[in-house]
């Protein structure tokens, strides 16, 4: 007796279809699982046996072989409990096959036959829709995240007997339908606002430029100057997420099991701020079974690294490839997975170990050698990949006590949104979404300065000894500044402002 049930396994943030084949034959009673199962999948035989008996079904006292195909893909987790149970019931004739081949099944079973939630339901629903299936049968706790996928039935169940009765046509299950507009509104709740920031007009302008072009940013200033406060307000001026971006980001959180039941869609741009003791695996992702790291959890959002030189040097160096390519590839002996990591990196650091270099009030106690060692923790190649370096000085008393209202996040966000619309039109038909992602060919096409701008750029490049990467970063930032101004071309003052945002390069001359 042979039966086949459709299920799914996660590969990175995407899901692939898995055929759960169940064969029941004469022989010594046993249940063997083949097809590269991990420990949790192998243990499912005990959960399946108890769940079937406690749900009122007979467990065959024969030799049962469960094959998870394709056999060369590693299978992880307890999500195959439900399809394996249904496969056994189908092989013994308890479940009929008419509906069985049109639905994908996923779920962990408790010993009493209850269906528990699993990870990656959103990716599974997308895979089922692309395969042309009628729908997915998943745990009721997962329907809110899978329900954002349109064009497919998402059926939630709480018990094994519900699935059996539905597949036999005895009962019907109501498909779950998500209110996308409500989910986006829920994710767009207001947070910190730039109107609360006193002073720091130069820094706020730099943050506006960075948000408009999705440029990486480094803030340098003494303790208490407001670097972290400014960074936490960046999401309030970023443009709203597109639906495609929200799905991409939600997939990452779904495979990690980090989605809350009441927040099934990540509709606001993520802001992640890991501690400087984080490991390279925690930041980039990895382990024996590759999982996304902080850089992927920040996809389409902001990754904030406070006290940048305090991070281990090898941890910072692994950021170079994700910042350049917008993705992380993790290779292991049995598999290679790719996670998205299109982020806006925002970092903050003190100018020296004591933090008071160039401060007019607090004397610096650091020697030149101490300062050099402190800054050398950040490599030149990493600094080259950060488009904007700005100094954030301490706020003066009269600025702190000023009762006047600063410009709000909404006003800044409106200018950022207009700039992003210009970029969207410019890069229509490509995968590029912002100026920071421009390729070399696009830079030649869209970032040609006027004659005065070219002369200034030549002088600056020769005097500072800028690398080719720093040169292109200046052009990209100048293009964003011109977009904010509504200018088609890049002029001399656009280049001048962009050069001012390379403070660490200026200190080398």
- Chain mean pLDDT for the chain: 89
Task: Check residue 11 and report its DSSP letter.
Answer: E
User: Comparing 132-141, 275-284, 469-478, 496-505, which segment has the lowest mean pLDDT?
Assistant: 496-505
387's tokens: 């488009």
Instruction: Identify the pLDDT of residue 188.
Output: 54
Q: Would 179 be classed as within a structural domain?
A: no
Report DSSP state, residue 395.
P
What is the reported pLDDT for 263?
76
pLDDT given for residue 413 in this prediction: 93
93 within a domain of the structure (yes/no): yes
Q: For residues 374 and 85, what is the distance between their CA atoms, to the nearest angstrom?
A: 59
Taking a C-beta distance cutoff of 8 angstroms, is the pair 163, 93 a contact?
no
In a domain, residue 174? The reply is no
**What's the token pair of residue 346?**
């925002």
Is residue 162 pLDDT above 90, yes or no?
A: yes
* For residues 365-392, average pLDDT: 90
The whole-angstrom separation of Cα 158 and Cα 143 is 11
State how far the Cα of 99 lies from the Cα of 44, in Å rounded to an integer.
24
Q: What is the pLDDT of residue 178?
A: 80
> DSSP string of 105-139?
E--EE-TTSBEE--S-HHHHHHHHHHTT-SEEEEE
Alpha helices in 15-137 (DSSP H): 39-42, 44-54, 81-91, 121-130
Three-state secondary-structure class, residue 403: coil
- Token look-up 């597109």 returns 242
Residue pair 86/95 in contact (Cβ under 8 Å)? The answer is yes
pLDDT winner (highest mean) among 35-44, 158-167, 450-459, 466-475: 158-167
pLDDT at residue 34 tops 80: yes
- pLDDT score for 25: 92
Q: For residue 69, give the DSSP letter.
A: E
Claim to verify: residue 128 and residue 147 sit in the same structural domain? yes
Residues 267, 355, single domain; the answer is yes
**Over 90: is that where the pLDDT of 53 sits?**
yes
Same domain, 343 and 390: yes
Pick from 339, 342, 359, 412: which is nearest to 193 by CA? Answer: 412
- Which DSSP state fits 260? B
Residue 272 has pLDDT above 60, yes or no: yes
CB 132 within 8 A of CB 105: no
Is residue 248 a part of any domain in this protein? Answer: yes
Cα-based distances in Å from 249 to 168, 266, 313: 37, 7, 28
CATH code, domain with 382: 3.40.50.300
- Residue 415: its pLDDT value, please? 95
pTM equals 0.87
Q: Which domain holds residue 490?
A: 438-509
CATH number at residue 473: 1.10.8
Mean pLDDT within 473-478: 93
- Residue in 343, 345, 247 with CA at minimum distance from that of residue 300: 343
Share of the chain above pLDDT 70, in %: 97
Give the separation between CA 482 and CA 207, rounded to whole angstroms.
Answer: 15
Residues in the chain: 509
Query: Sorting pLDDT into bands at 50, 70 and 90, what band is 383?
Result: confident
What is the count of structural domains for the chain? 3
Of residues 61 and 190, more confidently modeled: 61
Q: What is the pLDDT of residue 509?
A: 40
Domain boundary among 403, 428, 453: 428
Whether residue 422 sits in one domain with residue 447: no
């Amino acid at each position: 007796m042979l039966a086949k049930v459709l299920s799914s396994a996660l590969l990175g943030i995407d899901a692939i279809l898995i055929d759960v084949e169940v064969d029941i034959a004469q022989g010594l009673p046993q249940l063997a699982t083949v097809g590269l199962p991990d420990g949790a999948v192998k243990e499912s035989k005990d959960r399946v046996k108890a769940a079937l008996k406690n749900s009122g079904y007979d467990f065959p006292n024969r030799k049962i072989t469960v094959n998870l195909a394709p056999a060369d893909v590693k299978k992880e987790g307890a999500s195959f409990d439900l399809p394996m149970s249904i496969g056994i019931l189908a092989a013994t004739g308890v479940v009929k096959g008419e509906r069985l081949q049109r639905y994908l099944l996923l779920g962990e079973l408790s010993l009493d036959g209850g269906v528990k939630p699993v990870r990656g339901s959103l990716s599974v629903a997308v895979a089922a829709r692309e395969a042309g299936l009628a729908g997915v049968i998943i745990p009721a706790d997962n329907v809110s995240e899978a329900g954002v996928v349109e064009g497919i039935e998402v059926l939630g169940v709480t018990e094994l007997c519900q699935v059996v009765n539905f597949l036999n046509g005895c009962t019907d299950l109501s498909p779950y339908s998500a209110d996308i507009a409500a989910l986006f509104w829920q994710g767009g709740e207001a947070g910190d606002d730039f109107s609360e920031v006193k002073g720091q007009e130069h820094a706020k302008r730099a943050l506006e430029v960075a948000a408009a072009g999705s440029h990486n940013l480094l803030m340098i200033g003494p303790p208490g100057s407001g670097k972290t406060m400014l960074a936490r307000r960046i999401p309030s001026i970023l443009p709203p997420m597109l639906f495609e971006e929200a799905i991409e980001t939600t997939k990452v959180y779904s495979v990690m099991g980090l989605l809350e039941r009441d927040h099934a869609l990540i509709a606001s741009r993520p802001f992640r701020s890991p501690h400087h003791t984080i490991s390279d695996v925690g930041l980039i992702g990895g382990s024996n079974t590759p999982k996304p790291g902080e850089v992927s959890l920040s996809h389409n959002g902001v990754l904030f690294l406070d006290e940048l030189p305090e991070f281990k040097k090898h941890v910072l160096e692994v950021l170079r490839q994700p910042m350049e390519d917008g993705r992380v590839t993790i290779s292991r002996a049995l598999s290679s997975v790719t996670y998205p990591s299109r982020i806006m990196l925002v970092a903050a650091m003190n100018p020296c170990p004591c933090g008071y270099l160039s401060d007019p009030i607090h004397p610096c106690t650091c020697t030149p050698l101490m300062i050099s060692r402190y800054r050398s923790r950040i490599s030149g190649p990493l600094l080259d990949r950060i488009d904007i370096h700005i100094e954030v000085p301490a706020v003066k008393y009269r600025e702190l006590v000023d009762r006047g209202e600063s410009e709000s996040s909404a006003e800044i966000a409106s200018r950022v949104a207009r700039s992003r619309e210009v970029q969207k039109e410019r890069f229509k038909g490509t995968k590029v979404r912002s100026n920071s992602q421009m390729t070399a060919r696009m830079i030649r096409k869209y970032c040609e300065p006027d004659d005065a701008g070219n002369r200034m750029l030549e002088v600056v490049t020769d005097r500072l000894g800028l690398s080719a990467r720093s040169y292109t970063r200046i052009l990209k930032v100048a293009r964003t500044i011109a977009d904010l101004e509504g200018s088609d071309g890049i002029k001399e003052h656009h280049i001048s402002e962009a050069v001012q945002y390379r403070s660490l390069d200026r200190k080398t001359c």
